[in-house]
Structure 1
Amino acid sequence: MRKPILLASFALFTTLSAFPMKEIAGEFQPWDANCQILGNNVAFMTEWNGVTFKFFDKDGCVFEGGTDFSEYDMLVLKLKDASCMFKIKTEYTDGTTQQDSWGAEQAITPGLLVAGIALNHEHKKNVKDFVLQSADYPGMITVDKVIACTKAEYEQMLKEEKAKRFELTLKKVNEGGGADYDPATKTISIKDDWAHKGWYFNDQFRDFSLFNLFVIQFAQPTATDGEIGIEYDGEGAQTTTSRFETGVSQVNVPLSKDKNKLRQVYVKGPSGATFVLKGARFATNGEVTAIKRIDKEKTSANAPTRYYSLDGRELKQPTKGLHIEKKNGSAQKVFGR
């Protein structure tokens, strides 16, 4: 038994209710500097990194001799936000030595706000700790509570806590050839005509059935047309594509019936196109606002001409060389002299 490490950790204090459900006291301990604890936020700075949740004893000290959860079926994280793909793994002890063969791991469905793992029925009297490990992409989760509960209570929480969105990281956009991505400027640069760049998901994290749409937002109105592609696994699964025009700032793409086996999403465009990303997420219908296009903002016959650079920045006046001019709902490239 040892005193808890307070640096880069937080405590979740025990409360008992009239129900078997129990809130667990303990702390998250990062594996290394690539994972940080910021209040109730667990920030995974790199892929396949993690934290260990250590249980407290009645004196508020970390106890690794085995905590008794024999009255419960599940360990559950109640989350306020989940924008990271991660898995939970339970670890057990015989009182002195960790018994790896007793443990189990569970990949959490992306966006789920109630992340649970079943306890080993034969050994749940000696739970040493549990770990959270990020998947291929960095991200963050916000933990509300750590709970031990029955299976029925877990299933009830699943019904009550509905996912709304799952943000994709802009720190790493690595899927696809013939195009580059700069994480500093969040810019996709298309080299080969209609090449693509996007996100490819590990086969443990392809169930996006909680959501209805993929939403991508551009920090600057698009200077060219392009396309969003969504690919799925399985025989007969069809790729979902959605073309967008010049001047678009947001594209909403409905997910197909195969959304429980979604492999990758990406942006395509003509050679030389650049797309500056503002955000990308999976969302429910109720969470999403309508598509906004700058070429629809003014439709009056007397609307002024608006000028844009090829990377989508609005200009005060036309410039020499190639730029974009928009008026009355139409846009065209113009070479200024």
Structure 2
Amino acid sequence: MKKIVICICIALTAFACKQKAKTVENTETPVATVNEAKTDSTKNNDVFDINKIPISDHDLGEFPYLSAPDKYGYGDYAGGMRKTDISDFDKEYFAVNGKLIPQEGKSCKVGIDVLNSQTTQFNSLIVEKSFEKAILALGGVQVNNVPVPQSEIERIGNKELIDKHYGYSIDYNLLDDVKTYVIRTKDKVVWIQFSLLNKESGRITFLEQGKLETLAIKKITADQMKADIDANGKAVLNINFDTNKSSLQPDGQTVVNEIGTLLKANPNLKLSIEGYTDNVGNPAQNKQLSIDRANTVVNYLVAIGIPKHNLKANGFGAEKPLVANDTDLNRARNRRVELVKF
């Protein structure tokens, strides 16, 4: 009987120890990997839901938010970032669990390389881990760490991904290694995606999600032109012509009619009509186009009764830009007609 009791005690003790070990294992907090941090919106190819990305309370700083790792730099051959690398409004396809989804907003698309190839060899693991650590520290979440199927590339097509540069950070030779992250704050959604070719270089896209602002429609009136000429000696107008032509569009005719109203109300006012273009295209052709457009305005005004001796026409092409021709909005501002008092 004593033997039986001892055996039962040993068995119960072993069972208790086993249960205790199981409890400890179950109550341990697992170390969260980047993949485990994915939200339900990135699993099983579900439709991506940005609202399931946790909101970070970190201050991201200034766009594009992250500097290159030590001994590395942005730009081709780490030559530094150029103005053309940043766009006020752009588009990029980002991989989410192997599926490509488009996002629009302010972007920075730039290469990354070693600063000195004589002393440092490009190491994709160092770059990847440096960005991963920095992004996760800002509250970011990795949303892609699986291969992008070739079928996804074919679904979007080369016209979007290559011709329009909307797949800048997707390397066709590295479809199994496209890293994508999202940082969501209370007022921003930032996408970061990169492809890194070990011992070579890499490409990265930063995109702050946003919408293109609707342009305010402002009616140009004769009174406003007169006020500008009295104050500055000239009025700057955006008159719409047909693309690459000197013919007026209907809303362009409306503006020229207002110029006619101004001149009829002020018969002693003499104006030089001066045309300008942006810097896209051939300089000589741009200058001729600006001259032709200025002449179109003069001829229209003469046709509605303005004395020709009160008018001059001239064109300067891309000369004397109001602003740098570095964005679509700025190029639109430079395509203008100025009414200069003489």
Q: Which has the higher helix share?
A: 2
Same-fold status (TM-score > 0.5)? no
* TM-score, length basis structure 1: 0.26
Q: Which has the higher strand share?
A: 1
- Which one has the largest radius of gyration? 2
* TM-score, length basis structure 2: 0.26
